[in-house]
A and B are shown apart, each in its own frame.
Chain A
Amino acid sequence: MLPITAALLAVLAALLAWPVPALLARARWPGRDPLVALLCWQAIGLAGGLSIIGALLVHGLAPWGHSLPEAVWAVLHGRAATGAVRGDHWVTLTLAGVLAFELVGVLLLSWARIARTRRRHRALLELVVQPAPEPDARLLEHPAPVAFCIPGARPLLVLSSGMVAELDGEQLAAVVAHERAHLGEHHHLLLLPFVAWKAALPVLPAAERAHGAVRELVEMRADDVALGSLHGSAPRRTLAAAIVTAAGGAGGVPAGALAVAGAGVRARVVRLLEPADPLPPAARASALAAAVLLLLVPTVLLLLPAL
């Protein structure tokens, strides 16, 4: 007999693997409050992993105790199982181990690979960048208008000479403020779990969709933070103009994996030019409450005695 707790966790895992990310990716409100949406995505990722591994563990360890803590305690102390241990218990335990190992392993591997690539990029760039008009930015001699930052202990914020040439002073300040926001809020850490999730579960369409949505949201969030630090008469228009110029004037840059889908850029420009009302406080609070609940439900199911 499958414990109800395991069944509930399995249902939650299934919901989080497909319908919930699909709904959130399609919803329109995240553009009105990217920060809250980013927190919801983190909760979905974390709760998803917790509930699928938890479901397998709860079922696999059921013969050793009535709750997961009790069963783990019994196993650690080498106590014999109180119920019959069947083949399906071993199968689910093995699956739980493999899945946990894969999710954590891929996370660590992604982290290491990205860190190595960033070191290489920094080594290449540091030899050729010059001081830029903005004090914390560096200038790279290149005709294409690009700006990017490399996060890390010694972050590097790079503007190309093409970017400096094509934008006016206010627009350039907007670009730098956007990149500073990425660095200041550690957006690379918000993305990492989804990078790893996508690598670990390439068959899951939700993983790809979640990654895309989170990528888009960190850009919108950085736009919002940048607006807060701009002083000009129409900061929204300034930032939108900078985005349009930079997106359209990419001559000379190899159109590669980073050539973003036009839809994402358009969404950013539209929400700057025609801002929707911010989420009402009640909606904001319920979204945050949903995120907290999403994390609490599998945690409580795992800790309480099995139903």
Chain B
Amino acid sequence: MASLGELERAVMERLWAADGPVAATWLRDELADRGLALTTVHTVLSRLEQKGFVVHDEARPRRFSARASREDHAAQAMREVLGQAADRQAVLARFVGAVDADEARMLRDLLAAAGADDAAQG
């Protein structure tokens, strides 16, 4: 039994790959290899809607689409996690923050100098 998270991923993949808004039945058929019931597809879609990643239109039956393209979604994730408005405390564990150009040059010089020392000693 696949987890809901995994199903959400699979549904988003199909929505991103689709040409436009699609019906839940289309998604069920696309995911036929998983043998999902239509209600399950709807459950996953409504969870994704709650999270703000999926929207539907008012057609009958409703058709669903991703709110943002995959690239925009990744960019938004990056902005929210690391960007200006990001909650510093929530992401304490970034490997290293960005420094300005001058500082970056100085760091590279430090590294190069250390390398030269090693070579001289070696």
CB distance B80 to A121 under 8 Å? yes
Contact digits for B43-77, partner A, Cβ 8 Å, 1 yes 0 no:
00000000101000000000000000011011111
- Shortest beta-carbon contacts, A-B, top 7: A260-B97, A250-B98, A248-B104, A256-B84, A262-B103, A147-B95, A117-B90
Contact of A110 among B77, B78, B89, B111 (CB under 8 A): B89
CB distance A151 to B93 under 8 Å? yes
- B: contact size bracket: 35 or more
B96 contacts across to A, CB distance below 8 A: 219, 243, 246-247, 260, 265, 268
Total of A-B residue pairs, C-beta within 8 Å: 177
CB distance A114 to B70 under 8 Å? no
| Chain B interface mostly | helix
A residues contacting B by CB (< 8 A) are: 110, 113-114, 117-118, 120-121, 123-128, 140-142, 144, 146-151, 160, 163, 175, 178-179, 182-183, 187-188, 191-192, 195, 215, 218-219, 222, 234, 237, 240-244, 246-250, 253-260, 262, 264-266, 268-270, 273-274
Tell me the nearest residue of chain A to B88, going by C-beta: A257
CB distance B87 to A259 under 8 Å? no
B residues contacting A by CB (< 8 A) are: 5, 8-9, 12, 51, 53, 70-71, 73-101, 103-108, 110-111, 114-115, 118
**Which of A110, A128, A249 has the largest number of chain B CB atoms within 10 A?**
A128
Quote the shortest CB–CB distance from B119 to chain A (angstroms).
12
A117 contacts across to B, CB distance below 8 A: 87, 90
